[in-house]
Chain A
Amino acid sequence: MTLNSEFATVEVDRDDSGNGPRLMIRDLRSGNCIFMDPLELASLALLRHEELLPFLDPVRLDPRFRKKSVGA
Chain B
Amino acid sequence: MATMINSDVDYRHLVQDDRVSGRVYYDPEIFRSELERIWYREWVYVAHESEVPQAGDYVTRQIGLQPVIVSRDEDGGVNLMLNRCTHRGNTVCQSECGNAHAFRCAYHGWTYNNRGELVGVPYAAGYDASFNKKEFALVKVPRVASHRGLIFASLSATGPSLTDHLGPATRLIDQFVNLSPAGEIILRSGVLKHSYKGNWKMALENSVDGYHPNILHHAAMVMMMKGKNDMESVFGENSEARTRDLGHGVEQLDLNPVQTKNGGRVVPPGWSKQTFDEYQAAMVKNFGASRAEQIMSEGPPHFCIFPNLIFILNQFRVIQPVSVNETVISYYPTLLKGAPDEINQRRLSETYLIHGPAGRVAPDDFEAYERNQIGFQAQVNEWLVLRRGLHRETRENGTMSGHETDETTQRGIWRHYRDVMTH
Candidates A7, A54, A59; contact of B100 at CB < 8 Å: A7
Residues of A in contact, count (CB < 8 Å): 13
B95 / chain A contacts, CB cutoff of 8 Å: 5-6
**In chain A, residues 34-63, which have Cβ atoms closer than 8 Å to a Cβ of chain B?**
48-50, 52-54, 56-59
B55 / chain A contacts, CB cutoff of 8 Å: 49
A54 / chain B contacts, CB cutoff of 8 Å: 119-120
**Identity of the chain A residue whose Cβ is nearest the Cβ of B122 in the assembled complex:** A59
Q: Is the CB of A49 within 8 A of B74?
A: yes
* CB-CB under 8 A for A6 and B98, given A53-B113, A58-B111: yes
Q: Is the CB of A58 within 8 A of B74?
A: no
Q: Is the CB of A59 within 8 A of B109?
A: yes
Tell me, rounded to whole Å, the shortest Cβ–Cβ distance linking B278 to chain A.
37
* CB-CB under 8 A for A50 and B122, given A7-B100, A56-B102: no
Q: Is the CB of A53 within 8 A of B102?
A: yes
Q: Is the CB of B103 within 8 A of A7?
A: yes
A-side binding surface: helix, strand, loop or mixed? helix
Q: Which residues of A contact B (CB under 8 A)?
A: 5-7, 48-50, 52-54, 56-59
With the chains together, A66 CA to B93 CA distance in Å?
Answer: 26
Tell me, rounded to whole Å, the shortest Cβ–Cβ distance linking B118 to chain A.
10
Q: Is the CB of A6 within 8 A of B93?
A: yes
Q: Is the CB of A5 within 8 A of B100?
A: yes
Cβ of B123 within 8 Å of any chain A Cβ, yes or no, is yes
Q: Which residues of B contact A (CB under 8 A)?
A: 55-56, 74, 93-95, 98-104, 109, 111, 113, 119-120, 122-123
Tell me, rounded to whole Å, the shortest Cβ–Cβ distance linking A2 to chain B.
15
Tell me, rounded to whole Å, the shortest Cβ–Cβ distance linking A45 to chain B.
13
**Identity of the chain B residue whose Cβ is nearest the Cβ of A57 in the assembled complex:** B120
A52 / chain B contacts, CB cutoff of 8 Å: 101
With the chains together, A54 CA to B102 CA distance in Å?
Answer: 11
Chosen A-B contacts, 6 in total, with CB atoms closer than 8 Å, are A7-B100, A53-B111, A53-B119, A53-B120, A56-B102, A59-B122
Q: Is the CB of A50 within 8 A of B103?
A: no
Q: Is the CB of B98 within 8 A of A57?
A: no
Tell me, rounded to whole Å, the shortest Cβ–Cβ distance linking A65 to chain B.
11
**Identity of the chain B residue whose Cβ is nearest the Cβ of A55 in the assembled complex:** B120
B98 / chain A contacts, CB cutoff of 8 Å: 5-6
B100 / chain A contacts, CB cutoff of 8 Å: 5-7
A6 / chain B contacts, CB cutoff of 8 Å: 93-95, 98, 100
Most buried by B among A5, A50, A54, A59: A50
Q: Is the CB of B101 within 8 A of A49?
A: yes
* CB-CB under 8 A for A56 and B111, given A6-B95, A7-B100: yes
With the chains together, A56 CA to B95 CA distance in Å?
Answer: 19
**Identity of the chain B residue whose Cβ is nearest the Cβ of A62 in the assembled complex:** B122
Most buried by A among B74, B103, B120: B120
With the chains together, A65 CA to B111 CA distance in Å?
Answer: 18
A59 / chain B contacts, CB cutoff of 8 Å: 109, 122-123
Q: Is the CB of A58 within 8 A of B104?
A: yes
Q: Is the CB of A56 within 8 A of B93?
A: no
Candidates B56, B74, B120, B123; contact of A56 at CB < 8 Å: B120
* CB-CB under 8 A for A5 and B99, given A56-B111, A58-B109, A59-B109: yes
Further 9 A-B residue pairs, CB within 8 A, beyond A5-B100, A6-B95: A5-B98, A5-B99, A50-B113, A50-B119, A54-B119, A56-B120, A58-B104, A58-B109, A58-B122
